[in-house]
Chains A and B, each alone.
Chain A
Amino acid sequence: MKIQVNEQALTLPNSMNIEQLLTHLEKPLIGSAVAVNMQIINRSEWATHNINEGDSISLFQAIAGG
């Protein structure tokens, strides 16, 4: 399945939900936020929201700042 994550093309080996995608990308669940096609997905839906072919995923992470 071909998708985009932060403007980078990516091929997933199988279908997966957002939680599985983060694990697949070795990104932490804590401190992360995810938008699919510019729609923010609530954390409570990460385990049930499946990624679809052609989705554009935006991935954000909490970092140090003032």
Chain B
Amino acid sequence: MLFEEMMNNDQLVIGDKQFESRLFTGTGKFNDQQTMVAALKASKSELVTMALKRVDMQHKDDDILAPLIKNGMNLLPNTSGARNAKEAVFAAELAREALQTNWVKLEIHPDPKYLLPDPIETLKAAEMLANKGFVILPYVHADPVLCKHLESAGCAAVMPLGAPIGSNKGIKTAEFLDIIIEQATVPVIVDAGLGSPSHAALAMEMGADAVLVNTAIAVAGNPVAMSEAFAKAVQAGRQAYLAGLGGQSTEAVASSPLTAFLEASL
């Protein structure tokens, strides 16, 4: 197959949906709704995350849903705030009613300091949600064994972290992401910690199927421009992966002929 043809047919399939863009985005932490919508549009992202909260009876919340739906974005509600499997299942069921989707980003992080995902509760919740017909995308540590368990439990993808949520530290889990990507039979979405477009490009070069970026875009000096930069980086990284990266070596490998023509006698 021609390379161009390969690039053109390079669609990501998760559950019942196909995606052109391999950049998924979050809706949190933007200064205002207008910037959020403009940035998400610029990202060309087709899957955006949302959270759910108990309504504050004293205040009126902004309606952020209408512009997202209007722009054709698929919504991925998360279970953020859940501290165990039982709470996560309840949150997922509420989100299904609120957003009329059976897709859920399963996240259970009881520790408020590092927001690291609880593997035991996450696996428990995944098993329960699979029985209830959810399309589950679990946020997990870059643990290859856990990712295989989640696959067996029926998850539609796995979302291992690069670094703690919102830390912008980049890919600190590369060795383990490599193993997860090698072994996975479901899409691998690198989530959390990607702080710059080069981090996203690296994840894609490594063979990740997609990345999820929120903080790095939302808190950028210019979120719309940063969104575009991430979109380009994800595309470049994917293209590089498909093109086949050259191997590495410790010693130099000459790129020019080393014949000693300057010394040659005429």
- Cα–Cα, bound, A32→B53 (Å): 10
Is B65 touching A66 in the complex (CB atoms < 8 A)?
no
Binary flags per residue of B84-111, CB closer than 8 Å to A gives 1, else 0: 0000001001110111100000000000
Q: How many residues of A contact B (CB 8 A)?
A: 26
- Which residue of B27, B56, B66, B94 has the most chain A CB atoms within 10 A of its CB atom? B94
Write the nearest CB–CB distance from B61 to chain A, whole angstroms.
6
Q: Is the CB of B55 within 8 A of A6?
A: yes
Q: Does B113 contact A (CB under 8 A)?
A: no
- The answer to whether A8 has its CB under 8 Å from any CB of chain B is yes
In this assembly, does B17 line the interface, its C-beta being within 8 Å of a C-beta of chain A?
no
Q: How many inter-chain residue pairs (CB < 8 Å) link A and B?
A: 95
Interface of chain B residues 13 through 56 with chain A (CB within 8 A) = 26-30, 36, 49-56
CB pair B97 A43 closer than 8 Å: yes
Q: Are B53 and A63 in contact (CB under 8 A)?
A: yes
| Known A33-B95, A40-B93: A62·B57 in contact at CB below 8 Å | no
- Smallest CB gap from A65: residue in B: B51
Residues in A neighbouring B65, C-beta threshold 8 A? 30-31, 62
Within 8 Å of chain B (Cβ to Cβ): is A51? no
Known interface pairs A40-B94, A61-B55. Does A66 touch B63 (Cβ–Cβ under 8 Å)? no
Further pairs besides A27-B55, A28-B63, A32-B55: 12, Cβ < 8 Å: A6-B54, A6-B55, A6-B57, A30-B63, A33-B94, A35-B94, A42-B97, A59-B55, A62-B52, A62-B98, A64-B30, A65-B78
Interface residues of B (CB under 8 A from A): 26-30, 36, 49-57, 60-61, 63-66, 75, 77-78, 80, 90, 93-95, 97-100, 165-166, 212, 214-215
